[in-house]
Amino acid sequence: MIEIKNDKIWLSSPHMGGEEQKFVNKAFEENWIAPLGPNVNGFESDIESYLQETTHAAVLSSGTAALHLGLQLVGVTRGDTVLCQSFTFAASANPIAYLGAQPVFVDSERQTWNICPEQLEKAIKASLNKGIKPKAIIAVHLYGMPYKVAEVQKIAEKYDIPVVEDSAEALGSSYQGVACGTFGDVAALSFNGNKIITTSGGGALVSKKASIKKKTIFLASQARDEAPHYQHSEIGYNYRMSNVTAGIGRGQMMVLDERVKARRENYKYYVEHLSDIRDITFLDEPENVYSNRWLSCILTESYERREEIRKKLEAYNIESRPLWKPMHLQPVFKNCPTFTNGVSEELFEKGLCLPSGSNLKSEQLEKVVELIKSIG
Ligand SMILES: *Cc1c(COP(=O)(O)O)cnc(C)c1O
C-alpha cells in the first residue's frame, strides 16, 4: 500500500462537522438525487434563520450564479453600466460581462479595504455627467470584513441605484449587529471549497423579498412556465443546487458559529505573535463590526518583503497567497473605466493571506509564525 503523506498546510481547506453525511445519506435513501428535495428546502430555511432579518434564500450551484441572477433581477441588461469594487475576486465582476454590461471599477478605502464611498460617488457623478445612470453597485465584504454599509447605502439611496452585496466571503460576519448578506437589494453567498463553510461547490441568493426568491428559483430551473408540457417565455439557467450537496450544507450550518470562532482565533494568534515584527500590520475591526476573519491577512512594507515571506512558507510546503489582484489591473478588464486612489494597488503589492482554515492545528500556526519570525 502506498502511503500518501499530506503534511501541506493549506490556506483554507474544507472542514466537515460530522453530520453532513447523514443528510447526504438521507438523500440517497429517499432517492432525492435531484436539484430539488428536502435538503434544498431545509438548507434554505437554515440560512434564513441564521441571517435572522426577514430574508429569503435560494440555494444555487455557485456564488457566481447568485451574482449573475442577482444582477439580472435588479434590472441589469446589455449595454448597462455597473459599478464594481475593484479589489475583489474576479467572480464579483465576471457576471457583469455575462450580461453584456459594462463594468466600471471603484477603488477601496483603508479602513475596511472595501469599496471607497468617495470614489463611488465620483464614479456615479462621472457616469451621470455622460447621461448614463449606473444600474447597480457591487460592494464586497472582502476577507469577511464588512464594507462601510451605512455610507454605501446612503449613496445608493441618494442616486437610487440598487446594491448587489457580494457576501461570498462574509457568512458569519455582521455590521452593527446585523448579519452580512442582508444589506443589499440582493446578496450572494458562496459555499465553495475554500469558504467559511462549504458544500464542495454552491451558493445562495438572498433577498428581503419573497418574490425575488421565487423568481430566482424560476430562472435557476430553466424558466419553465406553468404548463403540463415544457413551455418557456424567458431564457432560463440550470443554476439550482442539488439535493445531495444541500445535504452537506445542512450539516455545515450546524457548525458555522464554531468555524467563525476558530478563524477569529487564528487571526488573534497571528496578531499576538507577529505584531512585534518591524513592518507587519493587520486590519483591525472598526467599531461595531464583526468579521468572520475568513482569511487572516498581513501587510508588509514592500512587494519584495511580501514575496520573501511567501517564498519562505512555500519552501516549507505552506500555502499563502498575495491579496486579491485588483480587477482594474487584470488583463481581461484592462479597458474598463476605473476610479482609483492607489489603495488596492498598494494592498496587492504588500499584502499576504496566511493559512486560515478552521481546522488548523496549533502546531501548524506555530510553524507559520516561527518561519516568518526566522526571516526577521
Ligand atoms: C468565492 C467568491 C465568489 C464566487 O463564489 P463561487 O461559489 O466560487 O462561485 C464571488 N465573490 C467573492 C468575493 C468570492 O470570494
CATH code (residue 304): 3.90.1150.10
In a domain, 349, yes or no: yes
Residue to probe by mutation, ligand 1, list 68, 114, 166, 327, most atoms within 8 Å of CB:
166
Ligand 1: atom nearest CA of 65 is: 9
Return the CATH number at 148.
3.40.640.10
Query: Tens digit of pLDDT for each residue in 241-293?
Result: 999 999 999 999 999 999 999 999 999 999 999 999 989 999 999 999 999 99
Tell me how far the alpha carbon of residue 97 lies from the centroid of ligand 1, in angstroms.
16
Residues 283 and 138 in one domain: no
**Would the CA dihedral through 110, 113, 117, 121 be positive or negative?**
positive
Distance CA 26, CA 4 (A): 31
Q: Is residue 13 part of a domain?
A: no
Distance 144 CA to ligand 1 centre (A): 12
Residues 271 and 224 in one domain: no
Ligand 1 mean position, distance from CA 92 (Å):
7
Count of domains in the chain? Answer: 2
For 287-305, what is the mean pLDDT?
98
Asked, for residue 111, whether it belongs to a domain, the answer is: yes
CA-CA distances (angstroms) from residue 36 to 39, 40, 49, 230, 341?
8, 6, 20, 18, 46
- For residues 52 and 183, state if they share a domain: yes
Rounded to the nearest angstrom, the distance between the alpha carbon of 63 and the centre of ligand 1 is 5
d(CA 76, CA 314): 42
Ligand 1 atom nearest to 194, measured from its CA: 1
Boundary (domain end) residue, out of 227, 253, 279 = 253
Q: The pTM is what?
A: 0.97
Same domain, 338 and 309: yes
d(CA 256, CA 16): 10
Q: Is 129 within a domain? A: yes
Q: Distance (Å, rounded) from C-alpha 239 to C-alpha 373? A: 46
Which atom, in ligand 1's list, is nearest to the CA of 66?
A: 9
User: Do both 149 and 160 map to the same domain?
Assistant: yes
132 and 272 part of one domain: no
Whole-number Å distance between alpha carbons of 203 and 197: 11
Q: Break the chain down into helix, strand, coil percent, rounded to 5.
A: 40, 15, 45
327 in a structural domain: yes
- Report the nearest-CA residue for atom 5 of ligand 1: 63
pLDDT digit string (tens) for 355-373?
A: 999 999 999 999 999 999 9
Contact predicate 197/256, CB 8 Å: yes
Q: Are residues 195 and 262 in the same domain?
A: no
Instruction: Give a yes or no: residue 227 inside a domain.
Output: yes
C-alpha of residue 374 to centroid of ligand 1, in Å: 34
Query: Mind listing the pLDDT tens digit for each residue in 64-77?
Result: 999 999 999 999 99
Distance 5 CA to ligand 1 centre (A): 30
User: Do 73 and 200 share a domain, yes or no?
Assistant: yes
Apex 87 CA angle, 107 and 266, nearest 5: 130
Segment 127-131 mean pLDDT:
98
- The domain in which residue 274 lies consists of 256-375
Are 268 and 304 in a shared domain?
A: yes
Asked whether the predicted pLDDT for residue 1 surpasses 70, the reply is no
pLDDT at 352 over 50: yes
**CA 93 to each of CA 111, 244, 301, 335: distance values in angstroms, whole numbers, following the listed order:** 22, 29, 29, 14
In the predicted model, what is the mean pLDDT of residues 316-341? 98
> Could you tell me if residue 236 is inside a domain?
yes
Atom of ligand 1 nearest to the CA of 202: 7
Q: Contact at 8 Å (CB) between 181 and 161? A: no
The arithmetic mean of pLDDT across residues 294-309, rounded, is: 98
User: Could you tell which of 62, 89, 112 is best to mutate to test the pocket of ligand 1, judged by most ligand atoms within 8 Å of the CB?
Assistant: 89
Q: Which atom of ligand 1 is nearest to the CA of 195?
A: 1
How many whole angstroms separate alpha carbon 267 and alpha carbon 122? 34
